[in-house]
Homo-oligomer: A and B are copies of this chain.
Amino acid sequence: MLDATDKKILEELSKNARITMKELGEKVHLTGQAASSRVIKLEEEGIIEGYTIQLNERKIGYPVHSFINIYTKHIQHQPYLSFLGNQSEYIINNYKISGEGCYLLECKFPSNEVLDHFLTQLNKYVNYKLSIVINNK
């Protein structure tokens, strides 16, 4: 399904998704047009789901990165999920998991004070265990 050229294309686009098709072509020994049509095919097949930017969250005011394990005994998760909907500024991902708790909530905050306030509200809906990210090496 994916040949070596496709893999190289995905690798190059992962490193720089704004590369021109001409340059991408040079990297994989194709013309720009051939590279472009492979990329279009990868998009159509749903292998490439989108193009996005990597942001420095610290520099845009969200220096606190955390993972929160969510525990609840309630059958109804909807109140918790609705709460998240109202807090989307802080939410990166809410993974439904099997293992430690029901969900693993990945969030970002401007400060520990905001995190504290968030946790206070969160605790109305669920129990949790908090992990703060120190770095990512």
Contact = CB atoms under 8 A, between A and B. Distances in A.
Contacts of A14: 52-53, 55
Contact of A55 (B49, B53, B60, B137): B49
Contacts of A135: 95-96
Interface in A73-95: 81, 93-95
Interface string A92-124: 011111111100100000000000000000000
Given A17-B18, A18-B18, A136-B93, A131 B55 contact: no
Interface residues of A, number: 44
Interface string A27-69: 0000000000000000001111111111110011000000101
A49 B56 contact: yes
B51 A51 contact: yes
A13 interface: yes
Contact of A51 (B54, B67, B93): B54
Interface of A: 2, 10, 13-18, 45-56, 59-60, 67, 69, 81, 93-101, 104, 129-137
